[in-house]
Structure 1
């Protein structure tokens, strides 16, 4: 075992242990009853930590203008994985946490082990407005004692991003509805996805999708039970469904379907504009990421990218975020007020227009801002993104996320999918993943 890998495993174990020790130490909030409302005579600064592309920047400015005395100091971390590391480090240290912390769905298993170190938002009215969100989103943010620790922002129903120009050049259908039918429409399967990909590779001599990691995440997330069973036990070894999908992914990679791009980088976006690949799985929030990557590489809306109302294997959800208030906040009432405002129907609709983050708010899902045209829809060939995502959200079920779900995704199967893209045999990559799982002593 190499030193780097050993250090990573030791660090992961140390942080996990520290989180457990901090579960009680950070619990409760002594500021809740004594806090004075913010005002010009009592100015406060609220710190907010988010990640990725959440579309909140303009909302911060609006909130400050509507709430004299409140200044927002926002930090946005580039990826969810790096944001998780940041949160775990500060949580373990018991210091440095913001007033409002964005928490990704994949972290919930870890977060819920220390749920008493977050403010119970029922103290600030969360229980009274729970009906504003899709029910499973609220359930995800509720711990075993009934405490609501987060307000839901977006959810991640999935469709397919594809490049119509590249499809057409390869002799495949390129119109949105025809592309959906190409993959099987309502009966789309991963087998059909791979078959179409093989046809594309044969016709174009180019890769079909960007990299295997995102495809694998999508495959896992749409199962009734993923890396964990609903009872909290691991669900990897002996999981026939998981292994069948792995073997299919390995077949795809071995036949040249993967471009082997680096996750979240794509050659600084260049791969989106130079024809390196033609499709990728896209939850709603990914659309803003894709747009930003293309623009960062000098591309624009004429590059051929579109969004199809179809997804292999049926309904799937990848990601989605919550805004929480760590119990260390000196301004829990004001922080809860901000978190509630940022996740209101109007705010979620505004964020969608900017970043494609599909609302968990029921009213926002039906708003013109979501169902109508905006800069994002124009970028994706006038695709009715809001309507497509609403269709893709039908049938989605919240998958139980165990305490190390994100660790398994990133540290176990992350390297394994990279290995597939680098030519490693599927069986060896699977065995190596299981060995890493054992080395990390993941429960």
Structure 2
């Protein structure tokens, strides 16, 4: 097995010391099965957030009567990370199929032998299905491929049309895209318009700084790690410059200081608390779900613009991996393979807004855009296909998600609440970096 550096927080997440993880990682367990038989088999799968798989599970079981799928969905990717590493440390409990988020794929790669090499189940025959970097992301240092690619996260801007109209700003998709700078949009443009909006209404421009910061970081050629896997935070002039730009926006009243993944039970999407939201494709389902939870609907006025500050950006995306502890590896691989076929990725997009990582599915959505009634009839598939041009996922190191959530998350929350200034927030982030990551 492979043993490497683990941070104090990663050890806490795993709930065991490194030696426990070593023991767990060296155990395999589980036998092979033959999916050519009609023997009944129950497959477990754990996902997170909004995957849009419910109808696909039913379809698969209808087409394969001997298969029963038992699905678990965890609310957020961060909590799914905790769940996965706790079970890896314990040496048991992983589902047959585990959804792995791009942000913590680097950490999974340090224990990649806990998941089967999908080349043993024919994934190489599908290598050309995905955008090339997606397939490479799931390939470990030994050349093993441990994940079927699900979605990627090209980003556009969600905006509330009535809110912008009330501020005297353009409120249609094309007008908003032009307002924010079009093909040449920058973060400076975004925050300049945000200040105009705040000055006109007294209300916040965006929900909270954590998600904006994550988008700003993901857009850089190198983020919290270099392409060679070295930590890349302290002394990183690009990160500091963007942090200061964000700090100025906060000082101008542009952040609504919302709690991540809460938004007052969704009411903040309905009551005009903020006017824009950074939206990778999978976040469209989050916007709709929260708006409806807050008592809103399509008439609330959310829309989706083909523009993003700073150009192409990718936030998120996931993989389906098969655990070595599975007693039904062949059947599990067959299900994961089916769920990630282009046809199913189109259905997944229609259910949850997750933009496909397979080229054929992307082409289908671009060629036959279906208006999204919730987002004012926006052709979201066509928009996301356009936003995906030039997207290449950034290298994510083993503690990338820890840095985003636990190093920068708390200082940004304090910055939003006015408890610290920009420099104090940056200094606190560096202190947490040294404490939690080293």
Q: TM-score, normalised by structure 1?
A: 0.94
Equivalent residue of 1:366, what SS?
Answer: helix
Q: Which moved more, 1:314-323 or 1:15-24?
A: 15-24
Measured in 2, the distance between the counterparts of 1:425 and 1:368 equals: 44
Q: Matches of residues 86-165 of structure 1 in structure 2 within 5 Å?
A: 86-165=83-162
| 1:425 matches 2:421 | yes
Pick the aligned partner of 1:406 from 401, 425, 428: 401
In the TM superposition, what whole-angstrom CA distance separates every residue of 1:92-136 from its partner, at most 9, and x where no partner exists? 111100000000000111010011110000001001111111111
CA separation of 1:22 and 1:278: change in aligned 2, threshold 3 A: farther
Query: 1:253 touches 1:420 (CA, 8 Å); kept in 2?
Result: yes
Q: Matches of residues 204-219 of structure 1 in structure 2 within 5 Å?
A: 204-219=201-216
CA separation of 1:233 and 1:13: change in aligned 2, threshold 3 A: farther
In the TM superposition, what whole-angstrom CA distance separates every residue of 1:221-276 from its partner, at most 9, and x where no partner exists? 01000000011110000000000000011111111100011111111100000000
Aligned-pair CA distance for 1:13: 8.1
Aligned-pair CA distance for 1:38: 6.7
Measured in 1, the distance between the counterparts of 2:24 and 2:133 equals: 25
Query: 1:39 touches 1:70 (CA, 8 Å); kept in 2?
Result: no
Query: 1:119 touches 1:324 (CA, 8 Å); kept in 2?
Result: yes
Say what the alpha-carbon RMSD is for the aligned residues. Answer: 1.7
Query: 1:23 touches 1:113 (CA, 8 Å); kept in 2?
Result: no
| 1:326 matches 2:359 | no
User: 2:369: which partner in 1?
Assistant: 372
Measured in 2, the distance between the counterparts of 1:329 and 1:379 equals: 40
Where do 5+ consecutive residues of structure 1 fail to align?
Answer: 1-6
User: 1:381: which partner in 2?
Assistant: 376
Pick the aligned partner of 1:415 from 410, 418, 431: 410
Equivalent residue of 1:282, what SS?
Answer: strand
Query: 2:34 touches 2:331 (CA, 8 Å); kept in 1?
Result: no
Pick the aligned partner of 1:69 from 66, 74, 89: 66
User: 1:17: which partner in 2?
Assistant: 18
In the TM superposition, what whole-angstrom CA distance separates every residue of 1:308-331 from its partner, at most 9, and x where no partner exists? 000001110000010000110000
CA separation of 1:31 and 1:369: change in aligned 2, threshold 3 A: farther
Query: 2:21 touches 2:88 (CA, 8 Å); kept in 1?
Result: no
User: 1:3: which partner in 2?
Assistant: none
Q: TM-score, normalised by structure 2?
A: 0.95
CA separation of 1:9 and 1:139: change in aligned 2, threshold 3 A: closer
| 1:391 matches 2:386 | yes
Measured in 1, the distance between the counterparts of 2:138 and 2:377 equals: 34
Where do 5+ consecutive residues of structure 2 fail to align?
Answer: 1-7
Aligned-pair CA distance for 1:352: 0.4
Measured in 1, the distance between the counterparts of 2:287 and 2:279 equals: 9
User: 1:438: which partner in 2?
Assistant: 434
Q: Which runs of at least 4 in structure 1 moved beyond 3 Å after TM superposition?
A: 7-10, 12-16, 368-371
Measured in 1, the distance between the counterparts of 2:274 and 2:312 equals: 24
Query: 2:366 touches 2:385 (CA, 8 Å); kept in 1?
Result: no
Aligned-pair CA distance for 1:10: 6.7
User: 2:3: which partner in 1?
Assistant: none
